[in-house]
Chain A
Amino acid sequence: MTDAMHVPDATVVTADLSRWFGQKVAVSEMSCSFGPGVTGLLGPNGAGKTTLLRMLAGLLTPSAGKATVLGRTPRKTYGIYRQMGFVPEDEAVYGHMSARRFVEWSAALSKVEDVSAAADRAFETVQLTEDAHRTLSTFSKGMRQRTKVAAALVHDPEVLLLDEPLNGADPIQRARLIELLIELGGEGRTIIVSSHVLAEVERMAGRVVAMVDGRAAAAGAVASLRDAMFDTPRLIRIDTNRPRPLARRLLAGDWVEEVRVDETGVEIRTRDARALGLDIAGAARETGALVTAVSPEDESLDSVFRYLMEI
């Protein structure tokens, strides 16, 4: 396999994988593969990331197609869970348990020989050793996430699936989790981590699979996806008291593709948003326009993913 959707040393493979709920298609004919290292599963809310991860984890039956982890189908082979860990998106934990008990419980069910030593290692990895005795109900969301990661790691799995693990974590905890995932990926584990935040994925994942509307829209290194996005026209809105003179002036720039003027501002479609940004201040000075806001109209993730769809 040489296309961007597939990797040569695949450990997790989906083939025409689909899942629908009644009329709603959550995942549609997804064919891709994941290998050692961190792969970011990127997509806006509702793109189908959670459904895909749950099918990979064996929690959901595919409506069509197939998913295999290390050559086996999780839904049919419970033994695969000795080599796989899953961190669900839900904040839910066993609130009555201490973090240590929860992780030891996971280790015992995963048939780990020395449960206590394995829990010690897992807490050390997620840097929660000092708080391990505390009841989970007293933990912050970020600490709960790290406990869930510890529970998923306690049996030393080859494949780790994480559904939005950075949700709710504060910046320091995010940084720690990102560092941890990079480290785990560096050890040769297959780490698949979903997120709807491009910047986060960029920091931790060498490879990205972007999902839109249940389909794999693009895959590859983050840089190559970003380059593709920069080549795509952007829509910028400038709020001003003198929209017409400002629009006339900005049209002089050869990076402007299209201009629309209304009573409160100008919308400009450009191939080079950076050049436009540099030109706005001068244009405003020259035309005597008071610029009150400059905002990208289509910078939302939805539009970014629409761009990716077109790649």
Chain B
Amino acid sequence: MRAALVIARAVLGRLLARRRAVWLMLLGGSPAAILLLLSWGRFDSEAAQFYNDLTVSLGIGILYPVVALVVSTAALGEERKTRTLPFLLVKPVSRWVIALGASAAAVLASFAVLEAGVLATWLVAGFTSGDWSIGIPTTAAAAVQSLASAAIFVPLGLALNRATLAGLGYLLLWEGILAAVIEGLQGSSIYRIVLSAWADLADMTPDTYDTVNAILGRVEIGLGGAFAKAAVLIAVSVAVTGLLLRRRDLVGE
């Protein structure tokens, strides 16, 4: 486990050291600016409503998955692109340990980047609504998002050159269209898993509740279930990533 921690620390340092991490934090925190504009001068429950609607539609719907996608695909994808992967692979460490370390780093980095935006929005929402617990469900959603996105996109980043583009295609097609149309796919939709975690803790108006339920479809609201699904996904992902690392050939010339 020591090796996994050493790897996680190095990958985490690289993921958070880049300018990209700052841009992603700003992107994740953009709802804070929107919320500030929308609820300027209002100090009532409507501000909380704005916050919830914005979180469901823009945050969990678009920004959080995109931010987590970019971070997660970079965890091993960047090792491959910058040709630093041999430094990892010529160590007396099992490929699954490398996969575990990289996945842990992706989860932590995604959560750190997402949570920076969540905190900024939380601050604005708390100030305008007077409810300082309003950001707790979003923090839980960011945690589930980080786990589930790392599970899908860490191996994708290792396997594909244009993993971010492929990931965006996945988000649009699978999450945005197919899972909305085909009920059978809703259980495997990360968007819905994350939303179910958020909905379990959020203080929603009946309208927001109806909207969330309509999006969730077959997926039950529940924080524990969401974390359990994300945990299963990450376990499978570590196994797949380890297998990819075992089979991967690193061509030099």
A binding-site residues for B, Cβ under 8 Å: 21, 26, 45-46, 49-51, 53-54, 57-61, 78-82, 84-86, 88-90, 92-94, 96-97, 105-106, 108-111, 151, 163
Contacts and interface: CB of A to CB of B under 8 A. Distances in A.
Nearest to B246: A75
A81 B251 contact: no
Interface in B204-226: none
A80 B10 CA distance: 23
B10 A94 contact: yes
B61 to A, nearest CB: 33
Given A50-B253, A78-B94, A88-B83, 18 more contacts: A26-B253, A49-B253, A51-B253, A57-B90, A60-B249, A78-B92, A78-B95, A82-B92, A84-B90, A85-B90, A89-B253, A90-B252, A96-B17, A105-B6, A108-B3, A109-B88, A110-B91, A151-B87
Contacts, number: 86
Nearest to A52: B252
Given A108-B2, A109-B3, A94 B14 contact: yes
A92 B250 contact: no
Contacts of B252: 50-51, 53-54, 88-90, 163
Given A94-B84, A97-B13, A59 B253 contact: no
B166 interface: no
A23 B91 CA distance: 32
A96 B94 CA distance: 25
Interface residues on B, range: 20 to 34
26 contacts: A26-B253, A45-B253, A49-B253, A51-B252, A51-B253, A53-B252, A59-B90, A59-B249, A59-B250, A60-B249, A60-B250, A60-B251, A79-B92, A80-B92, A82-B92, A84-B90, A88-B86, A89-B253, A90-B83, A94-B10, A97-B10, A108-B3, A109-B6, A109-B93, A110-B92, A111-B92
A114 to B, nearest CB: 14
B6 A61 contact: no
A110 B88 CA distance: 10
Contacts of B7: 109
Residue of B14, B17, B249 with most chain A CB atoms under a 10 A cut-off: B249
A86 B86 contact: yes
B177 interface: no
Interface string B180-215: 000000000000000000000000000000000000
A105 B11 CA distance: 11
A50 B253 CA distance: 6
Nearest to A96: B17
A82 B90 CA distance: 9
A257 to B, nearest CB: 36
A106 B17 CA distance: 20
A92 B84 CA distance: 6
A108 B93 CA distance: 11
Contacts of B14: 94, 96
A81 B17 CA distance: 29
A49 B252 CA distance: 10
Contacts of B249: 59-61
B75 to A, nearest CB: 14
A45 B90 CA distance: 24
A27 B114 CA distance: 47
Interface in B1-24: 2-3, 6-7, 10, 13-14, 17-18
